[in-house]
Structure 1
Amino acid sequence: MLEIIDLVKKYDSGPLALDGVNLKIEAGDIIALIGPSGAGKSTLVRCINRLVEPTSGKIMLNGVDISSLNKKELREARKNIGMIFQEYALVERLSVMENVLSGRLASVSFWQSLRRNFPQKYISEALSLLDRVGLGDYVDTRADQLSGGQRQRVGIARALLQKPDLLLLDEPTASLDPKTARQIMRLVVDLVQEKNISAIINIHEVKLAELFTKRIVGLREGRIVYDEEAAKLDTDALTLIYGEEDWESERPAEDESE
């Protein structure tokens, strides 16, 4: 379980990026973070694994306060937190398999990682995940030869190879076309449910959040202003999160025949 308590992030200049955020996520929950640009969504996701250092507050994962750990303890805790980035964060010159196996670097010795000498168990698990994400035929393909959707699938496989308790996704569909974005969201939700792990998805596309998650959390100016079932998101809620707009004209009926 993840519990965020009174989380604050203040950068050197500008207003508070996070202003007393409180959030609880049970095992197996999948939530979407939505809100305007600058609302604090990416900051919140990155504070959870301390890619961004919080100013104050607590981040409790399975009873451990992530925000209070030293560097060695944090490296150990991060084994339980998978991360999928908008920009993929792959090593372009390495193969698909090598990129996926990098998800296990923290679990092997320095010399094993230097020589890319991974146990057969990890290799077998990586092959299974690549088959699951539809990239079984791309094991030896260099990352720089892949499309955006394929790169994101590599990132998903890499994160899941860690066998995390929590999966963080920071705008995973922002660089993808609409069809590929839907495919990636469907894949993520299916895999998270199969493996019974929790996931937080920072996403700009409100329709994708409604379609693929059961709970939506809205941020505005660093504060949570909405936390409800996705089915309850209406024009009043959108106004609360984003401000005044003619939301009905912006929300055409979804064509489910695709």
Structure 2
Amino acid sequence: MLDIKSLHKKYPSGPVALRGVDLTVHEGDLIALIGPSGAGKSTLIRCINRLVEPSSGQILMQGTDICQLNSGALRKARKKIGMIFQEYALVERLSVMENVLSGRLGYVSFYASLTRKFPRADITEALRLLDRVGLSDYIDTRADQLSGGQRQRVGICRALLQQPDFLLIDEPTASLDPKTSREIMRLITELVQERNIAAIINIHEVTLAEMYSKRVVGLKDGQIVYDQAAGGLTNEALTLIYGEEDWEANKTDSDDALHEEVI
């Protein structure tokens, strides 16, 4: 489904963010992308849909090189690449329903988008998704009146309303408490499985990566240093990805914090 080949990214006035990344994603894959801050995780996510322009390399989505598309072809390709943002990227003054329906803007005419007159089928699917994520009672609520977890659910619905073949998810739990983080990760996992779509999740919480993904990819200094099925992250692997640390002590502290939060 997705083949990334020798992907490089160097920012004009900054460091090299990606150094020859090779990654293959298959249909139905749910990949957790982990690594220290500055490893290139967000850059990799954003290169895939060219929110960040790669310096060189190939990004083959079902055989089409995203890097070579002109603006019109790129807009068409992005319809099938859903994006869920860390900071939600909602329009605060709009309602939950209006924010979700914005996921269909690439499929309707300019007039329809301007007047917010969406096809009945789109509205029905938006209502179904909102019910699925537990937001049926918030359809007319403004986005700026929602909690962080609720905003993230709206972002998930908006991305899924695009009917994507692929999901890019950038730090979906970064601003959430431990309990809500688990709920969001569980929801993402269930929805991806239900729709049999592939997804890459950039995530800092190693425990959540192991619990909810099928595969864990570790990035360090712009290079992939680890790529294995979830459930196999050893202390040695964590040291390879993040550097020397007392991982057993950290694991105990993390479990204790989660236990206190649940209580």
Q: Note the residue ranges of structure 1 that are not aligned, 5 or more in a row.
A: none
Alignment match, 2:90: 90
Using the TM superposition, give the Cα deviation of residue 238 of structure 1 relative to its aligned residue in structure 2, in angstroms. Answer: 0.3
Q: Answer yes or no: is the 8 Å Cα contact 2:216–2:228 preserved in 1.
A: yes
Name the CA distance, whole Å, in 1 between partners of 2:168 and 2:22: 17
Alignment match, 2:198: 198
Q: Which moved more, 1:35-44 or 1:207-216?
A: 207-216
Alignment match, 2:129: 129
Please say if 1:30 is aligned against 2:30.
yes
Please say if 1:15 is aligned against 2:15.
yes
Alignment match, 1:79: 79
Using the TM superposition, give the Cα deviation of residue 214 of structure 1 relative to its aligned residue in structure 2, in angstroms. Answer: 1.8
Structure 2 matches for 1:139-150, cutoff 5 A? Answer: 139-150=139-150
Alignment match, 2:116: 116
Using the TM superposition, give the Cα deviation of residue 120 of structure 1 relative to its aligned residue in structure 2, in angstroms. Answer: 0.3
CA deviations over 1:8-43 (Å, ceiling 9, x no partner):
000012321000000000000000000000000000
Alignment match, 1:165: 165
Structure 2 matches for 1:33-52, cutoff 5 A? Answer: 33-52=33-52
Alignment match, 1:178: 178
For 1:63, the aligned partner's letter is G
Using the TM superposition, give the Cα deviation of residue 144 of structure 1 relative to its aligned residue in structure 2, in angstroms. Answer: 0.6
Aligned residue-pair number:
258
For 1:68, the aligned partner's letter is Q
Using the TM superposition, give the Cα deviation of residue 222 of structure 1 relative to its aligned residue in structure 2, in angstroms. Answer: 0.2
Name the CA distance, whole Å, in 2 between partners of 1:122 and 1:30: 26
Name the CA distance, whole Å, in 1 between partners of 2:185 and 2:100: 19
What secondary structure does 1:179 align onto?
helix
Alignment match, 2:55: 55
Name the CA distance, whole Å, in 2 between partners of 1:242 and 1:14: 22
When normalised by structure 2's length, the TM-score is 0.96
Using the TM superposition, give the Cα deviation of residue 232 of structure 1 relative to its aligned residue in structure 2, in angstroms. Answer: 1.1
Please say if 1:234 is aligned against 2:234.
yes
Name the CA distance, whole Å, in 2 between partners of 1:42 and 1:8: 14
Could you say what the CA RMSD is over the residues aligned between the two structures, in angstroms?
1.3
What secondary structure does 1:188 align onto?
helix
Name the CA distance, whole Å, in 2 between partners of 1:121 and 1:102: 14
Name the CA distance, whole Å, in 1 between partners of 2:86 and 2:255: 25
Name the CA distance, whole Å, in 2 between partners of 1:167 and 1:220: 22
What secondary structure does 2:84 align onto?
strand
Alignment match, 1:221: 221
Name the CA distance, whole Å, in 2 between partners of 1:229 and 1:16: 28
Alignment match, 1:104: 104
For 2:82, the aligned partner's letter is G
CA deviations over 1:189-217 (Å, ceiling 9, x no partner):
00000000000000001010011112100
Name the CA distance, whole Å, in 1 between partners of 2:60 and 2:126: 29
Q: Answer yes or no: is the 8 Å Cα contact 2:211–2:231 preserved in 1.
A: no
CA deviations over 1:149-172 (Å, ceiling 9, x no partner):
000000000000001000000001
Using the TM superposition, give the Cα deviation of residue 254 of structure 1 relative to its aligned residue in structure 2, in angstroms. Answer: 4.7
Q: Runs in 1 of length 4+ with deviation above 4 angstroms? A: 253-258
CA deviations over 1:104-144 (Å, ceiling 9, x no partner):
00000000000001000000000000000110111111101
Using the TM superposition, give the Cα deviation of residue 48 of structure 1 relative to its aligned residue in structure 2, in angstroms. Answer: 0.3
For 1:244, the aligned partner's letter is E
When normalised by structure 1's length, the TM-score is 0.98
What secondary structure does 2:225 align onto?
strand
For 1:10, the aligned partner's letter is K
What secondary structure does 2:158 align onto?
helix
Identity of aligned residues (%): 71
